């Protein structure tokens, strides 16, 4: 890089003194230039699909035999996404290690078929906390701690640690929000520094932007996109690729304008227009040759395996070829209280899509706001669905509506899948209407109810803090033989599932519930914690304290969702 090379810089760091301006914390054994970085940033507005684009491009490189590792950098000061309202930020996605992240990590896990960890997610809150912790412990050798180089250095350290732990050929870095967001400024500066330090052919910058097409004008307008890219360039970053989001394919004229004003070759200005399924986007990017453009820019042609790619791409195409060719259709009702924001249930929608494609069935969704549902009108809300899902949630609002939906499904043979709170609602409904415990409830809803069939277990009550006493992340579940769950999971003795909850079935009521016919077909090993329930004489009535939607993958749909959709198909006939 000009006269002062990045090799000189790395040598300089190793003998840094208090007078030096270079500050570059490196993981032990890190090799400069070994791992490449693709950095995806957004302009014009958020919510354009940076995570979708990044995961799709990562998949194309993964299919070529490269080891990829994604990371999402979020600008908010929360330590994690656990306390964010779904109305504000969509669903909370829980990783196997218990990290609560935003929904983009779900997109990465599904597209790459990887189990990610807290190493793949960072917030400003995490970065600042780490810097302040190091400052208190004297790690900065008495220097005044500043945004540059210490905060930006912490960001780069996070990326390099991921590169080392994942042994990645390419790390995909997604910066949340947009370039113009004040809280993203230090992330963007860190990326500029990263490119400088790593040297030529080490980084590829992608600007994801939006091409407007006002209906009153009837033509595509790129000025907002141009200004967004210009803002990125003013921050010291020249994009290598411009991805144009739009409702319809971006026309040649708009691409040419973006090429000229963004200083990017036309072949690297690509259209990523709306698609019927996000699983069609890898093919869209592949057709315009974007995967090989990135490989050439990063000089990693010698690492790819075209034989492996042919096999993996064939498997993916076998899956995507089924999309839109379904011969059957069913309607599944999702009965929740966040139904006005579809992103609140993103993983459930994906899991239903996976199951539907696997079974050759188009799964339509009917949104049912449970705050308006009562036992007196449940039939009216549910009469035109072939199955229902009662999803997870927290708090009191909408719970009685969910319980009314459970009762209707149980009494009318309607296929039912309860997730987390839906599992608890099924226990409450059964206790009330079958076991005769009219005062049955959850202590979350009514702390003084006479029959707290759902409660915080004693060992959890000892843990202080709103998020501290949650059961989070992956847990093994013992499966009871000769049950519906046992059949669905391929007669496995145990399965791994992910959890995010605080309340459990109170062990004092288990015997009463089982004597009345409820079967607990899954439990925690060596603990009286019930995790899957079912009704044996029902077409499909299954609830789980877990969140199976979090581990459903395109090529491996989750058995509980395929079971629900299959039962809905049979019901519809």
The CB density around residue 85, as the number of other CB atoms within 10 Å, is 12
Task: Write the burial class of residue 234 (CB in 10 Å: 0-12 exposed, 13-18 middle, 19+ buried).
Answer: exposed
354 catalytic per annotation: no
Q: Which two tokens stand for residue 554?
A: 């395109």
What separation in angstroms does the CA of 80 have from each of 77, 102, 115? 8, 8, 18
Q: Give the DSSP letter string of 273-299.
A: E--S-GGGHHHHHHHTTHHHHHHHHHT
- Given 109, 420, 429, 534, the catalytic residue: 420
3-state secondary structure 306-320: HHHHHHHHHHHHHHH
The first and second tokens of residue 437, run together, are 């415990």
The SS3 assignment for 172 reads strand
Query: Long-range contacts for 406-412 (Cβ within 8 Å, ≥24 apart)?
Result: 407/375, 407/378, 407/433, 408/375, 408/378, 408/379, 408/382, 409/382, 409/541, 410/535, 410/538, 410/541, 412/379
The reply to whether 420 belongs to the active site is yes
- In contact, 1 and 7? CB cutoff 8 Å: no
C-beta of residue 202 within 8 angstroms of C-beta of residue 7 = no
* Tokens, residue 464: 């202080």
Single out the residue of 280, 279, 258, 278 nearest to residue 268, CA to CA: 258
- Alpha carbon distance 287, 281 (integer Å): 10
> In this structure, are residues 149 and 197 in contact, taking their beta carbons and an 8 Å threshold?
no
Locate 68 and state its tokens. Answer: 């990829």
* Secondary structure letter of residue 169 according to DSSP: S
DSSP single-letter state for residue 38? E
Euclidean distance between CA atoms 191 and 194, whole angstroms: 5
204 belongs to the catalytic site: no
Nearest to 156 by CA among 122, 181, 204: 122
Phi and psi at 165, nearest 5°, equal -65, -35
Catalytic position from the list 381, 538, 547, 558: 547
CA nearest 58: which of 137, 218, 163, 170? Answer: 170
What is the spatial distance between Cα 162 and Cα 116, in angstroms, rounded to a whole number?
11
Q: What one-character DSSP code corresponds to residue 137? A: T
| Catalytic member of 198, 293, 534, 549 | 549
Q: Give the active site residues.
A: 420, 547, 549
């Amino acid at each position: 890089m000009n006269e002062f090379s990045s090799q000189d810089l790395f040598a300089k760091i190793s003998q840094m003194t208090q007078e030096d301006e270079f500050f570059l914390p490196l993981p032990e054994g890190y090799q400069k230039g070994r791992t490449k970085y693709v950095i995806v940033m957004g302009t014009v507005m958020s919510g354009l699909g940076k995570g979708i684009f990044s995961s799709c491009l990562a998949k194309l490189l993964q299919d070529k035999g490269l080891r990829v590792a994604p990371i999402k950098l979020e600008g908010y000061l929360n330590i994690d996404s656990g306390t964010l309202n779904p109305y504000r930020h969509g669903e909370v996605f829980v990783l196997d290690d218990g990290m609560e992240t935003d929904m983009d990590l779900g997109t990465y896990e599904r597209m790459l078929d990887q189990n990610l960890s807290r190493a793949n997610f960072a917030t400003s809150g995490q970065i600042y906390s780490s810097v302040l912790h190091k400052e208190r412990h004297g790690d900065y050798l008495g220097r005044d701690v500043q945004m540059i180089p210490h905060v930006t250095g912490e960001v780069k350290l996070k990326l390099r640690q991921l590169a080392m732990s994942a042994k990645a050929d390419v790390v995909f870095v997604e910066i949340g929000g947009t370039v113009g967001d004040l809280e993203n400024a230090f992330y963007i500066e860190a990326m500029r520094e990263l490119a400088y330090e790593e040297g030529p052919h080490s980084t590829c910058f992608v600007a994801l932007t939006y091409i407007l097409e006002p209906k009153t004008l009837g033509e595509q307008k790129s000025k907002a996109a141009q200004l967004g890219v210009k803002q990125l360039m003013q921050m010291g970053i020249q994009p290598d690729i411009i991805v144009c989001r739009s409702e319809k394919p971006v026309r040649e004229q708009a691409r040419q304008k973006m090429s000229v004003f963004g200083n990017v070759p036309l072949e690297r200005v690509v259209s990523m227009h709306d698609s019927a399924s996000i699983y069609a986007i890898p093919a869209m990017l592949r057709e315009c040759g974007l995967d090989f453009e990135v490989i050439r820019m990063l000089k990693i042609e010698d690492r790819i395996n075209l034989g492996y790619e042919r096999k993996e791409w064939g498997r993916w195409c076998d899956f995507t070829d089924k999309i839109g060719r379904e011969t059957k259709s069913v309607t599944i009702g999702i009965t929740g209280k966040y139904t006005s924001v579809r992103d609140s249930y993103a993983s459930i929608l994906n899991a239903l899509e996976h199951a539907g494609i696997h079974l050759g069935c188009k799964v339509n969704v009917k949104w049912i706001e449970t705050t308006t549902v009562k036992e007196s009108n449940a039939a009216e809300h549910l009469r035109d669905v072939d199955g229902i899902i009662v999803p997870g949630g927290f708090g009191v609002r909408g719970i009685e509506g969910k319980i009314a939906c459970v009762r209707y499904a149980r009494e009318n043979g309607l296929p039912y899948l309860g997730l987390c709170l839906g599992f608890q609602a099924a226990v409450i409904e059964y206790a009330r209407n079958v076991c005769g415990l009219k005062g049955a409830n959850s202590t979350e809803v009514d702390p003084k109810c006479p029959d707290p069939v759902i409660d915080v277990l004693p060992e959890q009550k000892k843990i202080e803090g709103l998020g501290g006493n949650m059961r989070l992340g992956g847990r093994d579940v013992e499966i009871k033989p000769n049950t519906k769950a046992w059949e669905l999971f391929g007669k496995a003795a145990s399965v791994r599932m992910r959890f995010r909850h605080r309340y459990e079935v109170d062990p004092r009521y288990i015997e009463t519930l089982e004597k009345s016919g409820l079967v607990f077909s899954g439990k925690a090993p060596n603990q009286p914690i019930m995790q899957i329930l079912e009704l044996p004489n029902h077409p499909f009535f299954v609830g789980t304290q877990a969140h199976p939607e979090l581990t459903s993958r395109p090529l491996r749909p989750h058995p509980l969702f395929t079971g629900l959709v299959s039962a809905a198909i049979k019901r519809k006939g």
